[in-house]
Chains A and B, each alone.
Chain A
Amino acid sequence: MPTLLDKVWIIPAVMAASFLLILFLGKRLGTKATAGIGIAAVSLCLVFSVITAGQWINRVNHPPTGEALASDIRQANGLTPQTPEEIESEINSATKDSGETVGAGDAQPSSESQAATESGAATTSEGGHSSEGSHETVPPVVRTVTWFEIGPIHFEAGTLVDGLTAMMLVTVSIISLLVHIYSTEYLRGDVRYTHYYAFLSLFTASMLFYVMSSNTLQMLVGWELVGLCSFGLIGHWWEDKKNSDAALKAFLTNRVGDMGLIIGVTITFFAAGATSFNVLHINEYALSPGANTTLLLVGALCLFGGVTSKSGQFPLHTWLPDAMAGPTPVSALIHAATMVVAGVYLIARLYAVFFEGLGIGSSSLHYVAFIGGFTTIMGGALAFAQTDLKKVLAYSTISQLGYMVMALGVGAWTAGVFHLFTHAFFKACLFLGAGSVSHACHHTFDMREMGGLRKHMKSTHITFLIATLALAGIAPLAGFWSKDEILAGAQQGQEHAYTLMLVFGLITAFMTAAYMGRAYWMTFWGEYRGHGTPHESPKVITIPLWILAICAVLFGFLNLPAFFNAPSWATTRFEHFVEPTFAFPAVEHPEFTPWLAVVSTILAVAGLAAAYLYYERNKGPHGLTQRNRLAKGGYTFLENKYYLDTLYTDIIAADTKGPLARAAYWFNQNVLDGIIDGASAVTKKVSGVVYHGVDQMVVDGVVNGTGLVSEESGQFLRRMQTGKVQQYAAILFAGVVVLAGVLVFVV
């Protein structure tokens, strides 16, 4: 039957349409209609995405076979049947199935005009890889049309749908939808309401476009477009220079990474035979025995440059905290749930390249894993030093992104992607919660001006708590499962374990819990320290929070480990449906390890507890002493408690928060940030020198100089024209003598 899998291009198209509609009609239609258009469009996308996902699941359950399979594989590799008999076989094979009836379904003339390389390779590669993977090969659905042609090559644009894509589609559209709804209240009466919604739509469109691209070039397009939207939305309130600076910083830092991306795309293109940007084609090449590993290594490193900037990995993460200058819903959508994971998605998508290129599992070079691990621990430490709620969340995001990258780095593909999935929901929930809080407290995010909000805003409080626990990784919330898989992956590794990464992971597990606890208590407990009386936000805001909270609770079970002997339809569904089985390296799947789960949970709880006690104490030594004076009986007990306090506070928490975090933060602000800003400053200086020193003086000087010289020589020659006729005669005769002399005696 005609499936949506072949027509996913509709989904971003819808959003693009809504973008144009809002951009050009928004002002006239007014705010309500604007939001309406946006929400309607996203809902439509959500429906489509869910259908797509459903059909993918169906496809996995009833995988294509025989010729259908072959033709799908050929298309996946960006190949089409060329010789007549092949076409022949295509036709009688592809009955009413996807085949090319669907390709024709696309707006433009399609597959017919695609590049041809021998399709023998396709079938062999198919044979090669169908055996691998946990279950039989289910090739992604790739539908392409010719995009442009250079030389003999036809470059195709197209859509690629597999589990990963479907998952991203659903995630993005859910969160985008909620953010759309949420913003109607949050942005009420904003100066640039329509622009805001226009950008939201554009962003959603680009993000969806990005995740369904069938080739790296297209991904590059989507990648840059989301960057553009992030620029526009961070700088949403550009009257304030601080914001526009943040926007610029974000864009430029990403641009630096993109440099790597562009070169990486180039290298992989040429490595894979300079015939196509097709993702699967490149993966195929990376996995093929004859692959040039050096090229792959360089290519992967360059690509990782892009990841580093986009997904806030060390050392290009500094733009992300500044990006909090944008409206909170934006932070939730772009800088927590979706855009920043584009980098992770890139690794997941081109996993073969990274796997082979960086020798994940085989070699001892754990570049990806290490960067991820370092980022996660660093981000966690930094989160302590923040008093701004959103900044805490921002650093937490960095830390979690590090987690995902680390997971992919240790070969735990499913774990990483699963964490991406779960993290999207609870982190979005946290951000939106924070937004709701600041909505209540006169748009401040300074936690020192909050506190005791649990009394005033119930829903926000509860949802925030749930999300916090999820993030902290308390069983059985979503975060627990994904985090635990990652740890397991690090512990069991591929050919050998990644102990260092495991340690990183565990430390982070503790820190995450701790700083989230800190944020939670500072915000919702104690006395309200701000001014005015906070109030619960309206339904438009709370309902999305609830939805997200529920997701944060439930989605963990999507990948219930086989360890709990639940029926097979319930376990490892995520892995089963999302993990690619085509052009995908053979990765080990970590087993669920109870002791690890326990340890991590304990650490998380400990972290929460530490935070709890520490901030209890901070709240009122005065009250304590009161009780000291009054209740002598419980003195020892209190004292003991005090000991505990000291223990937790001065040793654990303080050491974590104090020197370490401060040092890290200092390093971050002064060194890393310094480098970024310094770089720009230096560039400006250099540019000044180049322009004034070189261009105007030397290059231009030479030009004007020649002019001057000729003028002067003219002036000099002029003086020989004295007006004395006999001198003229003399000159004449001198000329005669000299010339005659030379010609007679020399020549």
Chain B
Amino acid sequence: MTFAWDAPSVDFHALAPEIIVAATLVILLLVDAFTGEDQRWASSSIAGIGLLVALIPIASLAYDGTTRIMFGGGYVVDNYALVLKALFLLSGYVVVLLSTNYIAEGDYWEGEYYQMILASVLGMMVMASARDLVSIFVALELLSIPAYMMAAWRKRDLKSDEAGLKYYLMGVFASAVMLYGMSVIYGYTGSTLLADIAPKIGALATSTPLVTLGIVFVVIGFAFKVSAVPFHTWAPDTYEGAPTPVTAFLAVASKAAGFVALLTLLFVGFWPRHDVWEPLIWVLSAATMFVGNFIALRQTNVIRMLAYSGIAQAGYMLAPLAVAGASPEAASQALHSIVIYLVIYAAMNLGAFAVVLAVARKTRSAESDSFGGLFSYAPGLTVCMSIFLFSLAGIPPAAGWFAKLGIFQALASAGTTSGYVLAVIVALNSVIAFAYYGRLMRIMWMEDAPDGDVSPIRVPWSITAALVLTVGVTLVWGVLPGLVTHFTDPITLLAVGR
């Protein structure tokens, strides 16, 4: 028998952002190939410009506002996708800013580095639109594999190698497990299209253990990506070992990508079985919060501390999912609160890493003690760092409070006891968390420089730009959260939404 093959209609406007990024990737390749060592500085600017340009079609698409569905529903460009793509592009851009001097001053391959970033960002953008198991898997690998390499970028540095290796092994192992789960899901539903999977697994008797197994495996695959306990073990080591800009990238962008996948899967694919994944997420979330915060209490290395704090933050973000199934309102609350959290989290965390980078340029270390007396010789950086830390701790007027507020709101909106209990757990954890944020602040403000060296820090323009961007966003959104919600309001996910 024969198959009539007709080419699927491709909406180029919808795909424009991805195309632009890919194109930039190619351009970089060429530039890298045909320029000498002395023009390598160009590559960073090209990458940056490419990422920014890609925002233009996103804007136009957002303005257009219609939801575009392609490839039989496998690839969707809606507000949800757009918001997140914008997020990925912007955080990618900030990471580029952070990397500029770092990479230029170390003897690393510059061009390739930016190609990796672009590739990874591309993967994330695909992830935001993917509505099909296959494309999700591909997107995942597309964003992961470059990340593995970036983590090990400082090739002569044992720590960097180790970071890369651990990230790689764990990542691959997790994705293998996830794939196994996907295969099972496919086996029971006969489709890889989330939109088709949902009704089928809904129809299946809830007591089909293998479906449950599949769902658990898949969820866990992404729980790994968002470094939820107990799948977090790679995060601290990788974060510490990897080059700081890469750490920032992993901690923000790739974690966001993980959440995107999770949201898509749970809300579109596995929605009918929230009886399975709600308790699962509940446990993960609680454990993640506590473990992340507790371990963070004992960290003496700022980056490692941020890593664990990032783990805890992931716990907060997971929390609303644990009650999303209670009611449509709860679901939409959860969706919005998580997206808002992702957006704000990106800003504040990138900012924090920016400060760490700037300081490390002088102290050549990320140990907490090296921050001693920062206030005395770098008040500006200190204030910025304080703002980011307060934001992470969720204290007004820094944006973080609103993110946390959203979490509380989502949990309360479910109106279930489990929801309130989780809310209280979040509350407790935000207190524990401040213990270490506050400790770092104490070191910066109230202690003296370990080595009496109080010469000011010269902050390169790129990092300054990144700081201005992040601080501005953090404060403005903190005072006028309406600006964020203005963008996140219209997002929906298939059944879910307002």
Once A743-B212, A743-B279, A744-B212 are accepted as A-B contacts, the answer to whether A732 and B435 lie under 8 Å apart by CB is no
Q: Do the beta carbons of B276 and A740 come within 8 Å of each other?
A: no
Chain B residues with CB under 8 A of A740: 212-213, 216-217
Q: Closest approach, in angstroms, between the C-beta of A120 and any C-beta of chain B?
A: 58
Q: Do the beta carbons of B291 and A710 come within 8 Å of each other?
A: no
CA distance A723 to B304 in the complex (A): 13
Q: Do the beta carbons of A717 and B432 come within 8 Å of each other?
A: no
Which of B212, B231, B236 is the one whose CB lies under 8 Å from A732? B231
Once A735-B230, A736-B217, A743-B212 are accepted as A-B contacts, the answer to whether A729 and B169 lie under 8 Å apart by CB is yes
Complex interface: stretch among B100-108, B131-139, B263-271, B294-302 = B294-302
Q: Do the beta carbons of B212 and A723 come within 8 Å of each other?
A: no
Chain B residues with CB under 8 A of A735: 220, 230-231
**Is B237's CB within 8 Å of the partner chain A?**
yes
Q: Do the beta carbons of A717 and B291 come within 8 Å of each other?
A: yes
Q: Do the beta carbons of B294 and A747 come within 8 Å of each other?
A: no
Q: Closest approach, in angstroms, between the C-beta of B175 and any C-beta of chain A?
A: 12
Contact with A along B196-229 (1 / 0, CB 8 A): 0000000000000100110011001000100000
Chain B residues with CB under 8 A of A731: 230, 233
CA distance A458 to B248 in the complex (A): 103
- Contacts of A732-747 to chain B: CB distance below 8 A: 732-736, 739-740, 743-745, 747
**B-binding residues in A (CB < 8 A):** 707, 710-711, 713-715, 717-718, 721, 723, 725, 727-729, 731-736, 739-740, 743-745, 747
**Is B27's CB within 8 Å of the partner chain A?**
no
Q: Do the beta carbons of A732 and B298 come within 8 Å of each other?
A: no
For A722, the closest partner residue in chain B by CB is B233
| 18 A–B contacts, CB within 8 A, in A order | A710-B432, A711-B298, A715-B298, A717-B291, A717-B294, A725-B165, A728-B234, A729-B173, A732-B170, A732-B173, A732-B174, A732-B233, A733-B173, A735-B220, A736-B217, A740-B217, A743-B216, A743-B276
Q: Do the beta carbons of A728 and B170 come within 8 Å of each other?
A: yes
Q: Do the beta carbons of B224 and A732 come within 8 Å of each other?
A: yes
Q: Do the beta carbons of A713 and B294 come within 8 Å of each other?
A: yes
Q: Closest approach, in angstroms, between the C-beta of B193 and any C-beta of chain A?
A: 24
Identify which of B165, B236, B296, B297 gathers the most chain A CB atoms within 10 Å of its CB: B297
CA distance A714 to B429 in the complex (A): 13
Once A732-B224, A743-B216 are accepted as A-B contacts, the answer to whether A723 and B231 lie under 8 Å apart by CB is no
Chain A residues with CB under 8 A of B291: 717
CA distance A573 to B415 in the complex (A): 82
**Is B154's CB within 8 Å of the partner chain A?**
no
Q: Do the beta carbons of A714 and B297 come within 8 Å of each other?
A: yes
A-B contact count (CB 8 A): 79
Q: Do the beta carbons of B432 and A736 come within 8 Å of each other?
A: no
CA distance A713 to B487 in the complex (A): 41
Chain A residues with CB under 8 A of B216: 736, 739-740, 743-744
- Contacts of B433-459 to chain A: CB distance below 8 A: 435
Q: Closest approach, in angstroms, between the C-beta of A272 and any C-beta of chain B?
A: 50
**Is B360's CB within 8 Å of the partner chain A?**
no
For A747, the closest partner residue in chain B by CB is B279
Q: Do the beta carbons of B230 and A732 come within 8 Å of each other?
A: yes
Once A714-B297, A732-B170 are accepted as A-B contacts, the answer to whether A744 and B213 lie under 8 Å apart by CB is yes
CA distance A745 to B435 in the complex (A): 40
Which of A718, A729, A736, A743 is the one whose CB lies under 8 Å from B295? A718
**Is B336's CB within 8 Å of the partner chain A?**
no
Q: Which 7 A-B pairs give the minimum distances between C-beta atoms?
A: A728-B233, A714-B294, A735-B230, A714-B297, A714-B298, A744-B209, A740-B216
CA distance A710 to B295 in the complex (A): 9
CA distance A667 to B234 in the complex (A): 81
Identify which of B237, B280, B293, B295 gathers the most chain A CB atoms within 10 Å of its CB: B295
**Is B425's CB within 8 Å of the partner chain A?**
no
**Is B479's CB within 8 Å of the partner chain A?**
no
Q: Do the beta carbons of B236 and A721 come within 8 Å of each other?
A: yes
Chain B residues with CB under 8 A of A733: 173, 177
Q: Closest approach, in angstroms, between the C-beta of A603 and any C-beta of chain B?
A: 79
CA distance A700 to B275 in the complex (A): 43
CA distance A731 to B228 in the complex (A): 12
**Is B69's CB within 8 Å of the partner chain A?**
no
Chain B residues with CB under 8 A of A725: 165-166, 169-170
Once A707-B435, A721-B236 are accepted as A-B contacts, the answer to whether A739 and B294 lie under 8 Å apart by CB is no
For B208, the closest partner residue in chain A by CB is A744
Q: Closest approach, in angstroms, between the C-beta of B292 and any C-beta of chain A?
A: 9
Q: Do the beta carbons of B297 and A739 come within 8 Å of each other?
A: no
Identify which of B212, B233, B276, B283 gathers the most chain A CB atoms within 10 Å of its CB: B233
Q: Closest approach, in angstroms, between the C-beta of B424 and any C-beta of chain A?
A: 15
For B168, the closest partner residue in chain A by CB is A725
Q: Closest approach, in angstroms, between the C-beta of B349 and any C-beta of chain A?
A: 21
CA distance A727 to B294 in the complex (A): 20
For B276, the closest partner residue in chain A by CB is A743
CA distance A744 to B267 in the complex (A): 21
Q: Closest approach, in angstroms, between the C-beta of A744 and any C-beta of chain B?
A: 4
Chain A residues with CB under 8 A of B297: 710-711, 714
CA distance A711 to B276 in the complex (A): 34
For A730, the closest partner residue in chain B by CB is B233
Identify which of B174, B291, B294 gathers the most chain A CB atoms within 10 Å of its CB: B294
Q: Do the beta carbons of A739 and B280 come within 8 Å of each other?
A: yes
CA distance A530 to B275 in the complex (A): 103
CA distance A710 to B432 in the complex (A): 8
Q: Closest approach, in angstroms, between the C-beta of B105 and any C-beta of chain A?
A: 29
Chain B residues with CB under 8 A of A734: 230
CA distance A736 to B280 in the complex (A): 11
CA distance A96 to B298 in the complex (A): 87
Identify which of A731, A734, A736, A739 gathers the most chain B CB atoms within 10 Å of its CB: A736
For B283, the closest partner residue in chain A by CB is A739
CA distance A735 to B216 in the complex (A): 11
Chain A residues with CB under 8 A of B177: 733, 736
- Contacts of B276-324 to chain A: CB distance below 8 A: 276, 279-280, 283, 291, 293-298
CA distance A717 to B169 in the complex (A): 22
Q: Do the beta carbons of A729 and B298 come within 8 Å of each other?
A: no
For A716, the closest partner residue in chain B by CB is B294
Chain A residues with CB under 8 A of B233: 721, 727-728, 731-732
Contact with A along B230-267 (1 / 0, CB 8 A): 11011011000000000000000000000000000000
For B167, the closest partner residue in chain A by CB is A725
CA distance A707 to B298 in the complex (A): 12
Q: Do the beta carbons of B295 and A714 come within 8 Å of each other?
A: yes
CA distance A731 to B216 in the complex (A): 16
Chain A residues with CB under 8 A of B170: 725, 728-729, 732
Q: Do the beta carbons of A710 and B237 come within 8 Å of each other?
A: no
Q: Closest approach, in angstroms, between the C-beta of A703 and any C-beta of chain B?
A: 12
CA distance A678 to B224 in the complex (A): 69
CA distance A121 to B234 in the complex (A): 87
For B209, the closest partner residue in chain A by CB is A744
Which of A710, A717, A729, A743 is the one whose CB lies under 8 Å from B280? A743
Q: Do the beta carbons of B295 and A739 come within 8 Å of each other?
A: no
Q: Closest approach, in angstroms, between the C-beta of B312 and any C-beta of chain A?
A: 12
Q: Do the beta carbons of B298 and A718 come within 8 Å of each other?
A: yes
Once A732-B170, A743-B280, A744-B212 are accepted as A-B contacts, the answer to whether A710 and B230 lie under 8 Å apart by CB is no
Q: Closest approach, in angstroms, between the C-beta of A116 and any C-beta of chain B?
A: 50
Chain A residues with CB under 8 A of B166: 725, 728
Q: Closest approach, in angstroms, between the C-beta of A651 and any C-beta of chain B?
A: 82
CA distance A520 to B9 in the complex (A): 128
Q: Do the beta carbons of A710 and B231 come within 8 Å of each other?
A: no
Chain B residues with CB under 8 A of A736: 177, 216-217, 220
Identify which of A713, A721, A740 gathers the most chain B CB atoms within 10 Å of its CB: A740
Contact with A along B393-430 (1 / 0, CB 8 A): 00000000000000000000000000000000000000
Q: Closest approach, in angstroms, between the C-beta of B301 and any C-beta of chain A?
A: 12
Chain A residues with CB under 8 A of B165: 725
CA distance A545 to B87 in the complex (A): 97
Chain A residues with CB under 8 A of B435: 707, 710
